[in-house]
Amino acid sequence: MAIEIRDQYDKIYRYCYHKVKNAVLAEDLTQETFLRFFSQTSYSEIGKQLPYLYTIARNLCTDHFRLRTFDREKELPEDALEDVAQHRMIEQTELTLVIRQALHVLPEDEQELLLLRYVNELTVSELSEITGLSRFAVYRKTKTALEHLKTRLRKEDFS
Amino acid sequence: MELYLNRVTKQYGNKIACDRISLRMKSGVYGLLGANGAGKTTLMRMICGVMTPTSGEITYDGIDVRQEAYRDVLGYLPQNFGYYPDFRVQDFMMYLAALKGLPKNPACERTASLLRLVSLEKESKRKIKTLSGGMKQRLGIAQALLNDPKILILDEPTAGLDPKERVKFRNLISRLGQDRIVLLSTHIVSDVEYIAGEILMMKDGQILHQGSRDEIIRTIHGKIWECCVPETNAEQLCTEHTVINLRNSGKDIILRVISDTIPRENAVSAEPTLEDLYLYYFQEEAEQ
Amino acid sequence: MKQMRKKDWSHELTLAFAAPAPKRKEAFLKTMPVPQLDPRGFFFTQLQYIRKRTWIFSIFILLACIGIVRFASDGVCWKTAALLPFLTLITTTEFARSTQWNMVELEMSCKYSLSQILMARFLIFGTVDFLILGVIIGIVSTQSEFYLLRTVLYLITPCTMTAALSLWIIRRTPRNESIYFCAAASAFISIAHDLAGSSGAYFYHPDLLPVWEFLCLASVCFLLKQGKELLSSARKGQLLFIH
């Protein structure tokens, strides 16, 4: 299997997981995303069609949004953190924990931008296609999101 | 999934190598059994688009044999194949992978997994000219699978394999036949016996019989006899009929013969095997 | 911490957004379609498989021609023309590789089959030889005793003749023998130039110009025809050389 699809699987999965907060569902949605993607395009360069891939994922997640019934504030995924720690043995620094908490306070669209830009490494053009915002707007919002996060972290620092 | 041959003929001057062959093949393993020169290789070459039929058509799900889309789902192991000098096992696989339309990364991954499948992963850096016959054959099988073909044509694939390799090969082919059309030609009866779901018997360019092992064995039911005769009479019997095998029994010899009618009074009708069938149909060629 | 750079943020955010490992990844990935190599990609892989020695010898011939122009006192034209058949020989032997090494059957059964491989090689060598020849003609014409068009004529003809003959030989002769016959043909044309050129000026006499023009045109047509026939033979399986 091409290295590209492998990578993208993980990235789409991470995105879906962020949206629906459920591992099993996230994987279902990831697989559905790829199935739909390949039913529409004949594979040659998945790299050039990333916005399309993410748009499918995004729409699928929105359709399942109803599963997120609880209040965002209360929903600190500490269980998920342990899950992650067990499965991935990621170094659980206090910083990570703090960042996670801070992230959850941010508006949804800012969280999404941070994930897509800094973690999934999408370019500004790609993000612009996915979100429908202009490139400038994407650039500005991403900066703002990061600033918000920093501000929030500073607040945490003093608490 | 259907490979359709419609009255496929190949003629060279006066000689007819394949005579109006019509077949419909769905997924599964088909064994093409016949003596050398029966037209097996010619038929396979036509199915692979390597030779053009004099008349008739060959299609897979409506796609004609001459089209690129057909070759895209085809995997072929010829009876003899060469390699560019100084090619290593890895180079050979990568070269053919490119020809089969695989870009570099998938080609690398498929090469690695296929070499593992045929137990050649340790030889990937070896030059092909240093490989034994059996290894080269396994390499040939590996390359045929590069593009995950739906039609797999193997011409004498077990030639040069030792018994252990042959068993491994049979298991592999059985697995592959599950969602593929596999056509393998051989004159080794036991290969076909164990793995083919359907057997095609070919003689003089025609398909004599087509069916499962039991179905085609039925055609020589009552034609295989075992006679117990004194040693002195044995030679006489040998000249009259084709002897499949003989064994000693005290002072007498038990001969297994082919005969349309009972050869001796005390002869007993024997249950035919595929080996018997082969000799029954191909006795002239077998004697050459 | 506030002075973290972008890549630090990437790292930290990746940790923050981490998800539990997916459980059904491998099984699913096996069902995904395999990416395809498009014709352009195929062309580039063919480029990679041209033997290095072909490029090296071609450059060598180019340098030799430059040498002739630099150091020869006269007869620059026929001397260069005597070398050119070898340039063509080197490149056309690349077309004989498949038959020489018994790869025809395997290559024919692939998606990008033998005729497409040959086509790719035509394109590659057509372009490369055209360029090399262009450079050689340019250099020779500076020293040539003839005006440009005449030089072009005298230099192109041995190339096209050799190429056409070689392709004809490859199409007709099985396996290893074809290379030897091609070499013989190139040698013949080269020696003809050597002998005729060194023996006097009659070879390039202006009266013979129409003969040269005819030869040039005929060999170009012959070359194109042989190219077409070779591709057609490839498609029909005639390059297997059985019966």
Which chains does A contact via 3+ CB–CB distances below 8 A? B, C
For residue B177, give the CATH number of its domain.
Answer: 3.40.50.300
**Once rounded to an integer, what is the mean pLDDT over residues B24-44?**
88
Q: Based on the domain organization, do B186 and B258 belong to the same domain?
A: no
Contact C103 B84 (CB under 8 A): yes
Which A residues 6-65 touch C at CB under 8 Å? 6, 9-10, 13-14, 17-18, 23, 26-27, 30-31, 34, 38, 42-46
Asked whether residue B174 is domain-assigned, the answer is yes
Tens digits of per-residue pLDDT, B220-266? 888 888 888 888 877 888 888 888 888 888 888 888 888 888 878 88
In a domain, B36, yes or no: yes
pLDDT higher than 50, residue A89: no
Tell me the C-alpha distance between B104 and B167, whole Å: 32
Minimum-distance CB partner of B98 among C45, C235, C236: C45
Chains contacting C (3 or more CB pairs within 8 Å): A, B
Whether residue C9 lies within 8 A of chain A, CB to CB, comes out as yes
Helix, strand, or coil (residue B258):
strand
Question: Span A52-74, mean pLDDT?
Answer: 72
- Contact (CB, 8 A) for C65 and C140: yes
Instruction: Give this prediction's pTM.
Output: 0.76
Q: Are residues B105 and B244 in the same domain?
A: no
Extents of the domains making up chain C: 40-232
| Each residue's pLDDT tens digit, A98-140 | 888 888 888 888 889 989 998 888 888 999 999 888 999 999 9
Give the residue from A109, A103, A104 showing the smallest Cα distance to A70. A104
Pair (B253, B114) in one structural domain: no
Q: Does residue B250 lie in a domain region?
A: yes
CB contact under 8 A, B103 and A2: yes
Residues B168 and B26 in one domain: yes
Instruction: Specify if B282 maps to a domain.
Output: no
Class of domain A71-159: mainly alpha
CB within 8 Å: A4 and B105: yes
Residue whose C-alpha is closest to residue A22's, from A107, A92, A80: A80
Which value does ipTM take for this structure?
0.86
pLDDT tens-digit profile of C91-150? 888 888 888 888 999 999 999 999 999 999 999 999 999 999 999 988 888 877 778 888
| DSSP assigned state of B17 | E
User: What span, in angstroms and rounded, lies between the C-alpha atoms of A120 and A130?
Assistant: 13
- Cα–Cα distance between C198 and C81 in angstroms, integer? 12
Query: Quick check: C24 contacting A, CB < 8 Å?
Result: yes
Residue numbers of the domain that contains B248 = 222-271
For residue A88, is pLDDT > 50? no
Pick the residue of C5, C12, C30, C38 with the most A CBs within 10 A to test the interface with A by mutation. Answer: C12
Chain B residues whose beta carbon lies within 8 Å of the beta carbon of residue C117: 99
Residues 34-53 of C with CB under 8 A from B: 34-37, 41-42, 45, 49
B151 touches C at CB < 8 Å: no
Task: Identify from C8, C15, C30 which residue to disrupt to test chain A contact, counting A C-beta atoms within 10 A and taking the largest count.
Answer: C15
Would you place residue A74 in the very low, low, confident or very high pLDDT band (cuts 50, 70, 90)? very low
**Residue B229: CB atoms within 10 Å:** 19
B234 close to B216: Cβ distance less than 8 angstroms: no
What is the reported pLDDT for C149? 84
- In the structure, what pLDDT confidence band is assigned to residue A75 with cuts at 50, 70 and 90? very low
Minimum distance, in Å, between the CA of residue A1 and any CA atom of chain B: 6
The answer on pLDDT for A42 being more than 70 is no
Strand order in the sheet with B63-64: B15-25, B3-12, B55-60, B63-64
Q: Are residues B211 and B226 in the same domain?
A: no
Query: Quick one: how far is CA B228 from the chain centroid?
Result: 35
One-letter identity of residue B201 = M
Among A103, A131, A105, which residue's Cα sits nearest to residue A116? A131
Per-residue pLDDT, B233: 79
Residue A17 to residues A12, A13, A57, B215, C136: CA-CA distances in angstroms? Answer: 8, 6, 11, 57, 65
Higher confidence at residue A83 or residue C210?
Answer: C210
Count how many domains chain B has. Answer: 2
Query: Which pLDDT value is given to residue A66?
Result: 57
Shared domain for B185 and B102, answered yes or no, is yes
Looking at per-residue confidence, does B43 or B282 come out higher?
B43
Instruction: Give the one of C37, C97, C235 whose C-beta lies nearest to B98's C-beta.
Output: C37
Q: pLDDT tens-digit profile of B73-126?
A: 999 999 989 999 889 999 999 999 999 999 888 888 889 889 988 889 899 999
Q: Domain check: are B231 and B128 in the same one? A: no
Note the pLDDT of residue A86. 52
E strand intervals along B157-250: 181-186, 198-203, 206-211, 224-230, 242-249
Tell me the domain boundaries of chain A. 1-69, 71-159
Q: How would residue A159 be classed by pLDDT, with cut points 50, 70 and 90? A: very low
Average pLDDT over residues B14-37: 89
Residues B246 and B161 reside in one and the same domain: no
Q: Do residues B157 and B95 share a domain? A: yes
Within this chain, do residues B188 and B248 fall inside the same structural domain, yes or no?
A: no
pLDDT tens, position by position, C51-108: 899 999 999 999 999 898 888 877 788 888 889 999 999 988 888 888 888 899 999 9
- Same structural domain, B159 and B250: no
Q: What's the rounded Cα separation, in Å, for the pair C192 and C180?
A: 18
Quick one: how many helices (H) and strands (E) in chain C? 11, 0
Helices (H), C6-74: 6-16, 25-30, 39-48, 52-71
Work out the average pLDDT over C191-196. 86
The reply to whether B177 and B259 lie within a common domain is no
Whether the predicted pLDDT of B285 surpasses 60: no
Sheet with B268-269, side-by-side order of all strands: B242-249, B252-258, B224-230, B268-269
Contacts of B211 (CB under 8 A, 6+ apart): B198, B199
Residue B31: which of B182, B137, B164 has the closest Cα? Answer: B182
Q: Which of residues 47-86 of C touch B (CB under 8 A)?
A: 49
pLDDT of residue A156: 65
pLDDT tier for residue A1 given thresholds of 50, 70 and 90: very low
Q: Is A63 on the interface with B (CB under 8 A)?
A: no
